[in-house]
Amino acid sequence: MDYRDEFQPGARRFDVGERSNFLLVPMAIAALRQLYEWGVGSIQETLRELTRRAARGAEALGLEVAPEANRSGHLVGLRRRGGYRSDVPARLAARQVYVSGRGDNLRVSPHLYNTAEDVDRLLEALASLR
């Protein structure tokens, strides 16, 4: 994680990470309409199935995963005893598998465009890191 404690100079110190861009408003409206149509619960359940698949596969590889009751449906942390090498996210990215390092965990957070086959590719890539 590359967090910084320094503030931007001048009034920019009060920015909270975003900038107003009114050209994006119609896109945001369309996205919100799509989310409303699909339903937040349906989206969460779709993603939950992908994280369940990732969790089951990770456990089969000997990785530690929090019990489902203790995690959200849209992301899962995969812990390896002894941690991961710092280059693991980059090595996975080279195989077009994208995760984030979070301490001793890899954070897997699928999106709606991801498929079960994508999760399987993640698990195959993780298995090859041994």
Domain boundaries, the chain: 23-128
Which is higher by pLDDT, 39 or 1? 39
Q: Which residues contact 69 (CB under 8 A, 6 or more apart)?
A: none
Instruction: Please determine, for residue 121, whether its predicted confidence score (pLDDT) is greater than 80.
Output: yes
Instruction: Please determine, for residue 2, whether its predicted confidence score (pLDDT) is greater than 70.
Output: no
Instruction: Please determine, for residue 79, whether its predicted confidence score (pLDDT) is greater than 80.
Output: yes
DSSP β-ladder status, 76-79 and 100-102: unpaired
Instruction: Please determine, for residue 20, whether its predicted confidence score (pLDDT) is greater than 80.
Output: no
Question: Each residue of 87-108: pLDDT tens digit?
Answer: 999 999 999 999 999 888 999 9
Domain 23-128, second-level architecture: Alpha-Beta Complex (3.90)
